[in-house]
Amino acid sequence: MTRYADLPLVEGTGERHCWSEFGAEDELGSLNRLTPEIAIAASRLVRSGKTFSLDLPLNEPGIFGDMRPVYTHNVSVAGYGRDDSLDGFFMSASSQWDGLRHVRYREHGYYGGRQENDLDGSRAIGIDRVAEKGLVTRAVLLDIPNFMRQTGREWNADTKFRVATETLEEILDYEGVQTKVGDVLLVRTGWLESWLARPRGQRPNGIGQTPGLDPGRQTAEWLWDRGIVGVAADNLAVEPVPYTDRGDGHLHFRLIPLLGIYMGELFDLRALSQDCIEDGIFEGMFVSSPLKVPSGVCSPPNAYFIK
């Protein structure tokens, strides 16, 4: 595996890309790291069989307003029973994986350097490619609020705060677990549970502020060099919002189009966190099956953590 520091530079920038790492025509990015051996090793982590769904109900958190409104659920009743459909179903309005079609890196394009005309009328790098592969691997929960509380530090999930890679390493040491190639990292900030604790009529207008991973280049390097295939959080964007620190750029534009690392947002980590704190085990088997929508951009993760 090529180290981040040895990856080619994107012309005219200080950013690095992995577009030749898995072959010029590759459509999976970091998922190429997932081997049968990794799936087998993940299955050996299952001891109790406890299973945790990491998806929100599809009508939560209801935060995006007109940009991504909550769908309309239609139910038809006939003599044989019932059928239903969804109108206005936005794939990224609730828990989601951002696929490789989601964002491009400026004029350099989407993952692999693809331009808009490479995607139009094509299934290239669609979310259905991820669905065909599937995510069957090991996941590690990095529980930031628990770590901060246990080490006597302050933490406010409703403020913008950058979590540096040094803090992530501290959390891993505290939890007694280390990352492995092929891992999915689950990052709990506590933001989602703070939002959901408010009744719908009392939730603030707009997105507000959330903590998240430092958006800088050092985070991208840390994730790549550890062989992470995806990082998912219980906040809006994995990285902090609002996006105001333009000098450091955005993690989205580094991870997805340049490194092929998948980003998951609005994952529901509440029940999993409670169980991990109780038994002291922060690793487990992770299974995710995105919707097989041809040429899809994003998808609900349909994700489970199994202990």
Question: What are the b/e assignments for 226-254, b being 16+ CB within 10 Å?
Answer: bbbbbbbbbbbbbbbbeeeeeeebbbbbb
Cα Rg, the chain, nearest whole Å: 19
Q: Give the least confident one: 45-49, 129-133, 245-249, 262-266.
A: 245-249
Sequence spans of domains, the chain:
4-306
For residues 200 and 303, give the distance between their C-alpha atoms in angstroms, rounded to a whole number.
25
85, burial (CB in 10 Å: exposed 0-12, middle 13-18, buried 19+): exposed
Q: Give the least confident one: 77-86, 146-155, 245-254.
A: 245-254
Confidence check: pLDDT of 206 > 70 = no
User: pLDDT confidence of 66, banded at 50, 70, 90?
Assistant: confident
Q: What is the pTM of this model?
A: 0.96
CATH code given to domain 4-306? 3.50.30.50
pLDDT tens track for 274-301:
999 999 999 999 999 999 999 999 999 9
Helix 217-225 with 165-175: angle, nearest 10 deg: 40
- What's residue 63's pLDDT? 86
**242 upstream amide cis, omega within 30 of 0:** yes
* Average pLDDT for the chain: 95
For residues 245 and 124, give the distance between their C-alpha atoms in angstroms, rounded to a whole number.
32
